[in-house]
Amino acid sequence: MKFLSLICSLVLLAGCASGPRMDTRHPSANHDSRVQFIVLHYTSTSLERSLQLLTSGPVSSHYLIGDNPPTIYKLVDESERAWHAGESQWKGRTWLNSSSIGIEIVNPGFDDTPNGRVWYPYTEGQIQSLIALLKDISTRYKIDPHNIIGHSDIAPLRKLDPGPMFPWKRLAEAGFGVWPDAHAVAREQTQYANALPSITWFQQQLALMGYETPQNGELDVATRHVLAAFQMHFRPAHFDGTPDAETAAILKVLNTQK
């Protein structure tokens, strides 16, 4: 009896050692990629300092695009979560670190001078490198062009990057991002020139675009910040957060194009 018990015990242990059987014959079609968004940033500092901050500090990004030459540095594997977005929201999704790929671009951002704020442009090489990188990422993850956004879009109360010098229109023309049809904007602007929509309308349209926006019908500080972020993205020549006919027209056209 003791011998039989020993045999049974060994059989059970052998079964446990091999683990449970895995059946992979029923794959589900109900899934999508973890990566839903691409968030673009400027670093506000030099390449050397950018690499130091993004590899040894509390923040990180999946990619960094240098300035001279415009080398693409891969810093974090795409399967991992990089710390680039912080407290953020887009289209109801929060804390976008978990669902996005972050791309930092070496650029000083801006300087405040006695004559006002001066913003710095991106180099042609950087933009070409970025377009090539976006093409690769967007193809692999099937990224919606509406989900290629800036840090200021997902955190308008605290961030300004990638700034008004960033060529969103050019990226949209290459298929990465969106841009309003100029003729449609002109038509809509004529209608809004004499009767500007209410603040409630602006808040609703901004939320429809994807922005986290108060819905209280008041032109409060938060709403102004969101309006300014939208204007900086789609009308970078003037982004003071004040609702006007052109801003209303751009909002209407973009949401209609969707």
The answer to whether residue 218 is catalytic is: no
* 185 burial level (CB within 10 Å; 0-12, 13-18, 19+): buried
Which of these is catalytic: 80, 104, 188, 212?
104
- Active-site residue list: 104
